[in-house]
Every structure is written in structure tokens, then in C-alpha cells.
Amino acid sequence: MSSDQPGGQNGSEQKKAESNDIQTSISKKDGAIIPEFEGDLINKIVSRFGDKIVQVIYIRPGRSKILVPPNEILQVASFVRDTLGFDHAESVSGTDYPKDNQIEVIYHLGSYSVDKLASQVLALSTRTDRNDSRLPTLINIFKSAEYHERETFEMLGVYFEGHPRNERFLLPEDWADIPPLRKEFRIKGR
């Protein structure tokens, strides 16, 4: 058997084997088959960051999620912008997980500049401790994240380090209660 790669595999066989390995490490909703284009995007991220990625979830065509530690979010965000072409944050959302003592922040990334990415949304997420919820801001990478991060700061209490305006945006200036999207928040009188 001829081979140009160690272990008896030629280049295309090795690429297929690596692709299958990555496919098996991706959580898939409802046993979905990952389309080739989305698989290639995910493979590029996984190949670059490897074990620094906590979790990869393929949700449905055009929608994948990558969970990374807080200390990797800036590097991964820069990579998906500069290398893959995701050029803006469509939204930023957060979820409170009190049982895990964590808050997850999710950046939904899209592209205006790359036609093939027009129907893709990459959910780039990270988690932080509920009691000291600090994350680096992504506004230097995605300018469109500015108001979304402000809303997440206000509604969930996540402080974005380096953000120029961690301040009230929607709530009254004299708001003294806990952030309203935290699970323990209760509407008074109910």
C-alpha cells in the first residue's frame, strides 16, 4: 500500500478520518447530519483551537454553537472574524444557570461581507461565575456588540471589562433590585 502520510493513509483518507473524528465530538440536535459547509467551518475552528473549546453543538442547517472558556473568547472571536468572515454580532444574549452558579453569554455572529455566510449564524458562547460575572468585551472585534453588551450588563449583571459604557440602558437610573433576568428576580406584588 502506498502512502504519503504516516499510518498508511493518503492525504484524502486522513482528511476524511479527521473529519469523522471531529464529527463524532460534535453534539448534534436530533441526530442531525452536518452539511459539508457547516462541517468545514466547525473543523477550521476546532483545528485551530482544539481542546480549548469546551463544546461544539450543531443545531440545524445554518446554525452552530461553540462554547469556549472566558480566557479564549477574544482569540476565537478574532479568528472567526478574520479567517472565516463573520463580521458582526447580530445579537448578544445571556442565560442564568443558578444550579451551576454560572451565566452563559452568547454572541450570535453573522456576515454581510461573505455571501456563503449570509444564511449562517454562529453562536459563540462563554460562561462566567454568577457571583463575579466579568467577561472581556468584544466591541473591539464586533462594534455591533456595544448595545447588546450593555443590555446584557443591565439585565443579567455581566460586567464587560473594557466596555466604555457599562451603565443603565433600559432600566431606571435608580434601579436598586437585582438584574431582572436573573432567576431569583421576582416582580413585586406577585
Residue 131 has pLDDT above 60, yes or no: yes
Map out the domains of the chain with their CATH numbers: 9-130 (3.30.460.80)
**Dihedral sign from CA coordinates of 41, 93, 103, 183:** negative
Give the pLDDT score at 130: 96
The whole-number average pLDDT for the span 146-152 is 96
**CA dist., res. 55 & res. 131, Å (int):** 23
**CA dist., res. 88 & res. 128, Å (int):** 22
Where b means 16+ CB within 10 Å and e means fewer, 105-127 reads bbbbbbbeeeeebeebbbbbbbb
The rounded mean pLDDT for the chain is 87
Instruction: Please tell me the least confidently modeled range out of 51-55, 76-80, 184-188.
Output: 184-188
The whole-number average pLDDT for the span 121-142 is 97
Under the banding of pLDDT at 50, 70 and 90, the label for residue 186 is: confident
16-52 tens-digit pLDDT: 434 444 444 677 766 678 899 999 999 999 999 999 9
Residue 131, class by beta-carbon neighbours within 10 Å (0-12 exposed, 13-18 middle, 19+ buried)? exposed
81-124 tens-digit pLDDT: 999 999 999 999 999 999 999 999 999 999 999 999 999 999 99
pTM (2 d.p.): 0.84
